Chain A
Amino acid sequence: MILFILFSTITVKAFDTPNDGGGSITIKAYNVPETVKKALVYRKTEGDTTYTLAGVMSILSYRYVDADSTIKNGKPYYYRVDFYFPDTVISVVSDSPGIAYAQWYDKSKTSSLIFLIVFSTLVLVFIQLAKKDPEGLYIRKIPALDAIDEAVGRSTELGKPTFFVHGLLGITDAGTLAALTILRRVAKKVAEYDTPILVTNFDPIVMTASQETVKQAYTEAGRPDAYNEKNIIYLTYEQFGYTAGVDGLMVREKPGAIFLQGYFFAESLILAETGHSVGAIQIAGTTAKEQLPFFVAACDYVLIGEEMLAASSYIGREPVMLGSVKGADWGKAFLMGIIGIGVVLGTVGAILQSAGNGALMNVFEKILAFF
């Protein structure tokens, strides 16, 4: 039997879900005893005589977001929540109706907006400074990128082909775009040395981009006639099928140099170990942090994370590109500063809290909530 307890300690509020595109109302319950086993949310609107079931409320957060397709912006909706106790059920009605609205600005993303503005400004400022003073820019040595010429050269001396193996993510991945930059450099060297190249692709869009990149590199090297589209091949969109295909090509063709560039998963070590077994010089580059140890163990050179993303700036050495790298470094410094402040505030706050003064901890928690 359902008991309607008007003066229950439990309260239910229905309000417009903040920071959304409308069409949804949040129902939140307060002062709910821990003994509640289940909570069901019911809804009705103007003209309805009875409530209809809207859904199950989480008894971890005591929050339910009603985004049913029937919810209209600007229209009031009334909610009742039935709380199931071991031996009884208590129904609580929301103190006021919930009305949905669409928002023009997502306040929860303010920290992202601030960071975007600061970071973009820093990058743009350093690009402008780089244009004015191109000599004042320094980029540290990246051995893996310096080794590209050596690898292609060695492959040429041995009379073996060069392999360029793309990772498993598509063209929307920054690492894949960086891989295309590196491919351009490799293909140009290959064209200059007149040695064969084979580019394997997991993604057909990356394949077409690779074909264009290699074609352009051959043109830049003054050897457009040597370009052969059929050397940039698609294998399969299946992880270990791709791995088997690349491994098979490695074992049969015995390349002198192998470039493993892009985002890799569990196949990283299988590819790198096979490459090692055929005696190729291997240069890997990935933004997949968990695959880095495998590449470090099995390859001669590795582009670690952001080194790969800076490849175009390093290879091109254009002031504008280098300026953007410097801007990004300052952005990193800005972020490190914020992290440092956060660490100090959190640590001191925790110490003071344990001594009975929780004011600083409150400030720290508010900052955390903002982010």
Chain B
Amino acid sequence: MVWIGVAPVALSEDLASVIHASFSDSGQATLLRLEQDPLQQRCSQPRDERVDDDISMALRQERLNAVVFPEDGNFLGDWQRGAAVAASGRGLQSNDDPSIANGGNCYACHQLAPTEVAYGTLGPSLTQYGLRGQSDAMLRYTWTKLWDTHAFNLCSHMPRFGAQKILTEQQLKDVMAFLLDPNSSVNPPTEGSSSAH
């Protein structure tokens, strides 16, 4: 089935009432979480039915304009702390304690340090991400992907770690270092490399 050039239909009142009647507040996970923002509404179609039209372009630009970069201009934190953030899947579930820091759960979907074999495959492997270097463009690109992936790839499955306040600015910096620091376990020396590890 091909879905052609029509703006997504607003949720029918029927469906909204069915959804609201089927859930109840559970810990920090309240019914408010069932309300969709324009991005969620736009991205609630099957993969083969999404359209790349003016509305999508505008939405993507809006996400890009809303990215907040580190106030002090420093993108890179501590890669070892970033490794811990990448490994933790806790946070924001109804049974999670909101007073404890959230994790990024990066390994659920991505391969990172090759020493961790329990990695998911919903997202691409990020092993040796550091080979991409630390140019200003790379720093800003990587930060934007973490902050709000939809700024580049509308309807990506990846959560908006910065825009949705899943991770703090410091945690994002630490994950940045985990990806980009040459000494990070994501970037082990490759055979024949002469780097001083």
* A associates with B: no
